[in-house]
Amino acid sequence: MATINTNAGAMVALQNLNQTNRDMEQVQSRINTGLAVASAKDNGGVYAIAQKMRSDVNGYAAVGNSLDLAASTTDVALAAGEAIGDILIEMKEKALAASDSSLDTASRTALNEDFKALRDQISTIVDNAEFNGTNLINGSVTSISALANADGSNTITISDQNFSLGGGNVTVAAAASFSSAGDASTLVTTIETSLDNLNASLAKLGTASSSLEIHKGFVGKLSDALEKGIGNLVDADLAKESARLQSLQVKQQLGVQALSIANSAPSTILGYFR
């Protein structure tokens, strides 16, 4: 039927051309963003899953920072404890030398001065062994915690180890000194006990530091796996999109020509009236 009121061919051509233009907009968006799913309207379900995974990735970044902070605090405590151990060994040497009953008073006094200087150095180390305001070896805290998962429901706890003079580990008193061979001999025993306690505490700190490093490595791998999973869900295949764009460009040109032909069809009706 020939009609000028309704041009069905032009309608179909226009619908197809509009669809081609929408497809081109989608392809261009994927090429511009590199994402096949850039917003919820592209694919609501996939977008929601990807956003949850992105939240976890950001959460694990915070976990990594927390683990780094705890590890640094623990490493400072370890370094201080090792230094204190070296000082205790020197103190034992001084006390042992002073325990010799054949030693004259002047020599023992000199050894005692060295002993007291070493003793005071322990207090200096303990007071300054802090990181980011936290000191694990002076008894100011009972423990520190690091985040272990992305929602903060699990933590890794590191207990403090008090290395202060006269504390639970270093049993040498803050005012310890000797004036006789007997005093020095007693201090040798006390220092040996302190060294045993200190080494046991250092082992605990070392284990804690190692645990933090292992968990950080795991968190890093988990975060990488999540990022890879997000990419698999939402990233666009740019090679495929490039080929599709070229196809749509040809289709668009053909659509314009088809619409032009359909629009010119009613003019043939004039031939019936010549």
pLDDT digits (tens, 9 = 90+) for 25-60: 888 888 888 888 888 888 899 999 999 999 999 999
Residues 112 and 72 in one domain: yes
Q: Do the bridges between strand 130-131 and strand 134-135 make them parallel or antiparallel, or are there none, so unpaired?
A: antiparallel
Domain limits at 254?
8-34+236-273
Residues 163 and 259 in one domain: no
Residues 196 and 132 in one domain: yes
Residues 132 and 70 in one domain: yes
Three-state SS at 31: helix
Using the CB atoms, write b or e for 1-35: b if 16+ within 10 Å.
Answer: eeeeeebeebeebbebbeebeebbebbebbeeeeb
* Helix segments in the chain, DSSP class H: 8-33, 44-98, 105-128, 181-234, 238-264
Residues 22 and 93 in one domain: no
Report d(CA 31, CA 219) in Å as an integer: 32
Q: What is the pTM of this model?
A: 0.78
Residues 142 and 249 in one domain: no
How many structural domains compose the chain?
2
CATH number at residue 142: 1.20.1330.10
Mean pLDDT of the 138-142 span: 92
Per-residue pLDDT, 274: 66
